[in-house]
Amino acid sequence: MTRKRRRLMIVGLCALGIGSATALTLTAFQDNLVFFKSPSDIVRETPPGGRAFRLGGLVETGSVTRALGTDGRPAATFRVTDGANTIPVTYTGVLPDLFREGQGVVTLGRLSPDGTFRASEVLARHDEAYMPPEVADALRRSGHWNPTQGPAPAASTWNTRSGS
């Protein structure tokens, strides 16, 4: 029994050591592990000019204007918000299908001196809500949710609701 107990102790101590080492490493690299920065992060600490980074947040309602760029490629300007702060973004290229006002996006690019973010890549980020089209329509009709204003209301209010 003592040998089993000793092996248990050794495994437990190793687990404790590896766990703490991992926790410390992850905390130390916290800044590098985030995939994107929010507008508030950028307002708080402006990244050095000319350095590419990712900016993420929701596409602000009513901020999207689409045009045709000088080279004939589609271009778009919109503002990315996290509620507290917003950053204007310009992008030339094809936007993903899920891109719309109120949708989460992650954009890769550089901040220009005038404060606009020049994106070279726009990825759509969808939230964790999944519902049939009829339910989304019913929520919209009843005024409980406007998808262009942001994420869906608390799931308990709709996840057993029928479409009609």
Partner 1 sequence: MTSAPPRGGGLHRFANPGRFLRTTGKVMPWLWGATVLVLGIGLAWGLAFSPPDWQQGETVRIMYVHVPMAWLAMGGYTGLVIASLMSLIWRHPLADLAAREMSPVGAAATALCLATGSLWGKPMWGTWWVWDARLTSVLILFFLWLGHAALVRAFDDPERGARAGAILALVGAVNVPIIKFSVDWWNTLHQPASVTRLAAPGLHVDILYPLLTCALGFTLLFTALILARTRSAVMERRIRGLELASARRHEAARA
Annotated binding residues for heme:
126, 130
Residue 114 Cβ vs partner 1, minimum distance, rounded to whole Å: 25
Residue 139 Cβ vs partner 1, minimum distance, rounded to whole Å: 9
Choice from 28, 83, 132, 149 touching partner 1 (CB under 8 A): 132
Nearer to partner 1 among residue 115 and residue 153 (C-beta):
153
Residue 8-47 contact track with partner 1, rule CB under 8 A, x = bound: x--x--xx--xx--x---x---x--xxxxxx---------
In angstroms, the CA 21 to CA 82 distance is: 33
Q: Contact 100/147 with Cβ under 8 angstroms? A: yes
- Number of CB atoms found within 10 A of residue 103's CB: 18
Kindly provide the b/e burial profile for residues 121-144, where b requires at least 16 CB atoms within 10 angstroms of the residue's own CB. Answer: ebbeeeeeeebeeebbebbeeeee
Q: Which residues contact 136 (CB under 8 A, 6 or more apart)?
A: 145, 147
Choice from 43, 64, 75, 131 touching partner 1 (CB under 8 A): 131
Beta strands in 21-98 (DSSP E): 53-59, 65-68, 74-81, 86-92
Residue 67-106 contact track with partner 1, rule CB under 8 A, x = bound: -----------------------------xxx-------x
Q: List residues near partner 1 by CB under 8 A.
A: 4, 7-8, 11, 14-15, 18-19, 22, 26, 30, 33-38, 56, 96-98, 106, 122-137, 147, 152, 154-156, 158-161
